[in-house]
């Protein structure tokens, strides 16, 4: 017994130094040290991160879904009363029907940004960022989980706002081009989710996040043709509006409902759809490399 006990440490050390040995049955083989066990996409980890982020905003859904829906509906009420009197029409439809699609996608984009911009920032401030960096998730999987949850919140807000607006008198939300609604809605949500993730990486306190929200996101959203057609602007301001990617998202989304937009004809809308997709791809690549570098996350 003593001899066997004295040999057990040696046996353990041999097992530690030779992890590649096959068991006697030949069915178990330990990987070499430093060799990754998970290959390809970590689907379990990605799903866990996605569900964590979704449950985070669902726990406070009054604040994250219903409150934005009420706020957006108030925009519709105020601008309809102020500008939609006497049967005013824009792009051949009543003003309420014109402004409703823009408000829906604006709410989707703003909430996608709010969700993803909080993910990493809250971890840095609360000291729980290690819970996101330690699991076996690649930078791409981490980005996909956070962006996917933000897009989920955006879709939830968009459906809630759309349902409320469809019940509002004078608003017609018939689909003219379903593909444009789906494409521009998703592209706008993904764009703001990526920008929110970039903000979450850069920001060191909630004031930084609020500054981007108030001085960048809100002006770009409100000054992108949500409440007007850019043909009413001076040429210089029209050029500024056409340089704003939010304009193409909002106008393209509106085209899906009305069949008309101030982007131009159908060919111009298709070009805008391809352009916004390429723009999102460029942002995704940039955010991926920043996230992989660990800038302001691992230092």
Torsion of the alpha carbons at 293, 296, 298 and 299, rounded to the nearest 10: 110
Domain ranges, residue 253: 40-293
Terminal-residue alpha carbon distance, the chain: 52
Give 10-residue mean pLDDT values along the chain (299 residues): 43 42 56 71 93 95 92 87 72 88 94 95 89 90 96 96 87 90 97 97 94 94 88 87 94 94 90 97 97 87
What pLDDT was estimated at residue 285?
98
- What backbone torsions phi and psi does residue 173 show, to the nearest 5 degrees? -120, 45
In a domain, 13, yes or no: no
Distance from C-alpha of 83 to C-alpha of 76, rounded to nearest angstrom: 10
What pLDDT was estimated at residue 6?
42
In a domain, 23, yes or no: no
In a domain, 231, yes or no: yes
Residue 46 and residue 137 in contact, taking contact as beta carbons nearer than 8 Å: yes
> Average model confidence (pLDDT) for the chain?
86
What pLDDT was estimated at residue 18?
42
In a domain, 9, yes or no: no
In a domain, 254, yes or no: yes
Residue 113 and residue 196 in contact, taking contact as beta carbons nearer than 8 Å: yes
In a domain, 179, yes or no: yes
What pLDDT was estimated at residue 3?
42
DSSP 77-138: HHHHHHHSGGG-EETTEEHHHHHHHHHHHHHHHHHHHHHHHHHHHHHHHHT-THHHHSSS--
In a domain, 263, yes or no: yes
In a domain, 19, yes or no: no
What pLDDT was estimated at residue 27?
63
- β-bridge partners, 22: 29
DSSP 247-260: HHHHHHHHHHHHS-
The count of structural domains within the chain is 1
What pLDDT was estimated at residue 36?
64
Strands 93-94 and 89-90: antiparallel
Distance from C-alpha of 269 to C-alpha of 253, rounded to nearest angstrom: 10
What pLDDT was estimated at residue 35?
67
pTM of the model: 0.85
Residue 267 and residue 299 in contact, taking contact as beta carbons nearer than 8 Å: no
């Amino acid at each position: 017994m003593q001899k066997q006990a004295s040999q057990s440490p040696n046996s353990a050390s041999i097992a530690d130094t030779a992890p590649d040995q096959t068991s006697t049955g030949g069915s178990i083989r330990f990987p070499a040290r430093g060799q990754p066990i998970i290959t390809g996409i970590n689907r379990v980890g990605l799903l866990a991160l996605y569900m964590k982020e979704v449950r985070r905003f669902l726990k406070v859904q009054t604040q994250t879904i219903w409150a934005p829906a009420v706020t957006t509906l108030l925009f519709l009420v105020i601008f309809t009363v102020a500008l939609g009197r006497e049967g005013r029409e824009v792009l051949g439809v009543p003003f309420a029907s014109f402004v409703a699609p823009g408000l829906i996608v604006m709410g989707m984009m703003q909430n996608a940004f709010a969700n993803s911009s909080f993910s990493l920032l809250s971890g840095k401030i609360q000291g729980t960022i290690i819970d996101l960096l330690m699991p076996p998730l690649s930078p791409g999987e981490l980005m996909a989980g956070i962006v996917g949850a933000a897009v989920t919140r955006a879709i939830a807000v968009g459906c809630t706002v759309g349902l409320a607006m469809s019940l509002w008198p004078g608003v017609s939300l018939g689909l003219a081009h379903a593909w444009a609604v789906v494409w521009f809605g998703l592209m706008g949500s993904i764009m703001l989710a990526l920008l929110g993730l970039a903000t979450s990486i850069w920001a060191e306190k909630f004031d930084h996040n609020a500054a981007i929200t108030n001085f960048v996101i809100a002006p770009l959203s409100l000054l992108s043709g949500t409440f007007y057609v850019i043909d009413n602007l001076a040429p210089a301001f029209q050029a500024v509006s056409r340089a704003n990617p939010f304009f193409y998202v909002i106008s393209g989304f509106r085209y899906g409902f009305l069949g008309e937009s101030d982007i131009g004809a159908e060919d111009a809308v298709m070009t805008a759809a391809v352009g916004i997709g390429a723009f999102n791809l460029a942002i995704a690549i940039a955010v991926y490399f920043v996230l992989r570098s660990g800038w302001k996350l691992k230092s």
